Amino acid sequence: MNSSSFGEFAFDLQARQVTHLGERVHLGSRAFDIFASLASRPGEIVTKDEIIKSVWGSTHVDEGALRVHLVALRKAFDDKGATGIIRNVAGKGYVFAASVTRKPPLDTPVQQAQEGNLPWPRRPLVGRDAVLARWAHERHRLATIVGPGGSGKTALAIAIGNLLRLEKKVFYVDLTEARDEGDLLSAVGKALLQHSRTTLTVARIADAVGDDDIMLILDGCEHIVDDVATFAETFVASTGSAMVLATSREPLRSLGERVRHLTGLDLPGNDDAECLEASPPSLTF
């Protein structure tokens, strides 16, 4: 439910419900549609033609029908002591005059993904202690692990995420198949908000996160590095404390980005498979 309120009233446009002090306000279908057209744009003049199009679509109706339902809508609010909520602006249209407070939707990370979506590693990353200890002391809100393919960037990013998951919600987003901004927003929306609507924007995602203390791991950014750079810079600037850790074959070149180069594996002195598997990645700073 996406709830908003004004005065002693609360409403949810998706649920098509208005309540007064917790009690349902009964509105006809057309009256509610008119209310939705106005309440979704508080303080703005909404023209008669805009309301008619919103309520009746392409069906031709005259202004008389609109006035009939407006009378019913106003009466419903007048009966609850909210006279003057809907004002007529002569020759222009109508204004929803109340101050509306919007509550966070129920698809925010706070409510839908309390602990993030990062899995615990199946086994520890051998040799990570020095790197992770340094990360713990030198945290940056926007950082990128840069290295060639197969160098262990993903494993290191997940290890860092697991280091911080006891104090932050950590979300992992796989961008290896993303090809444009739409794919990026869809993937982030699915991880953070539990949906991937095409109407998502960076601003909407940032609003949903707000001051929530999260870490967002964007993995495999090299195919859409410019789109990720813009997203990461805007997202960090628009949230209270959210962190972004990206992995890529090249830096994002975003404002405030800290680049950490992964130089590859420190190979042991033989080609034993078990030894090779245990060889740790190394970072340069």
Q: What is the CATH number of the domain that holds 72?
A: 1.10.10.10
Tell me, yes or no, whether 60 and 86 share the same domain. Answer: yes
Tell me, yes or no, whether 88 and 134 share the same domain. Answer: no
- Whether the pLDDT of residue 268 is over 60: the answer is no
Domain limits for position 227: 109-284
The predicted model gives 194-218 an average pLDDT of: 81
DSSP letters along the chain, please? --EEEETTEEEETTTTEEEETTEEPP--HHHHHHHHHHHTSTTSEEEHHHHHHHHHTTS---HHHHHHHHHHHHHHHHTTT-TTSEEEETTTEEEE-SPPEEPPPTTSHHHH-TTBSPPPPSS--TT-HHHHHHHHHS--SEEEEE--TTSSHHHHHHHHHHHHTTTSEEEEEE-TT--SHHHHHHHHHHHHHS---TT--HHHHHHHHTT--EEEEEE--GGGHHHHHHHHHHHHHHSSS-EEEEEESS----TT-EEEEEEEE---SS--HHHHHHPPEEEE-
Tell me, yes or no, whether 132 and 217 share the same domain. Answer: yes
Tell me, yes or no, whether 116 and 65 share the same domain. Answer: no
Tell me, yes or no, whether 78 and 123 share the same domain. Answer: no
Domain-ending residue, one of 54, 84, 102: 102
Residues 96, 253: Cα–Cα separation, whole Å: 45
> If pLDDT is split at 50, 70 and 90, which confidence band does 5 have?
confident
Tell me, yes or no, whether 223 and 177 share the same domain. Answer: yes
Tell me, yes or no, whether 120 and 27 share the same domain. Answer: no
Asked if 196 and 186 touch (Cβ cutoff 8 Å), the reply is yes
Q: For the chain, what is the domain count?
A: 2
Tell me, yes or no, whether 58 and 172 share the same domain. Answer: no
Tell me, yes or no, whether 73 and 126 share the same domain. Answer: no
Residues 52, 145: Cα–Cα separation, whole Å: 53
Domain-ending residue, one of 64, 87, 102: 102
The single-letter code of the amino acid at 165 is R
- Residue by residue, what is the 3-state secondary structure of 183-244? HHHHHHHHHHHCCCCCCCCHHHHHHHHCCCCEEEEEECCHHHHHHHHHHHHHHHHHCCCCEE
Q: What is the CATH number of the domain that holds 190?
A: 3.40.50.300
Position 261 scores a pLDDT of 87
Tell me, yes or no, whether 277 and 139 share the same domain. Answer: yes
Tell me how long the chain is: 285
The predicted model gives 46-73 an average pLDDT of: 90
- Whether the pLDDT of residue 282 is over 90: the answer is no
pLDDT tens digits, one per residue of 225-260: 999 999 999 999 998 889 999 999 999 999 889 998
Position 60 scores a pLDDT of 84
pLDDT tens digits, one per residue of 157-190: 988 888 888 788 899 999 999 999 999 998 998 8
| Residue 150 token pair | 């197969």
> If pLDDT is split at 50, 70 and 90, which confidence band does 30 have?
very high
Tell me, yes or no, whether 97 and 113 share the same domain. Answer: no
> Rounded mean pLDDT of the chain?
82
pLDDT tens digits, one per residue of 92-147: 999 999 888 876 544 444 344 445 788 776 666 666 667 777 776 777 899 999 99
Domain-ending residue, one of 102, 130, 159: 102
Tell me, yes or no, whether 164 and 254 share the same domain. Answer: yes
Q: How far is CA 90 from CA 40, 97, 248, in A?
A: 21, 15, 58
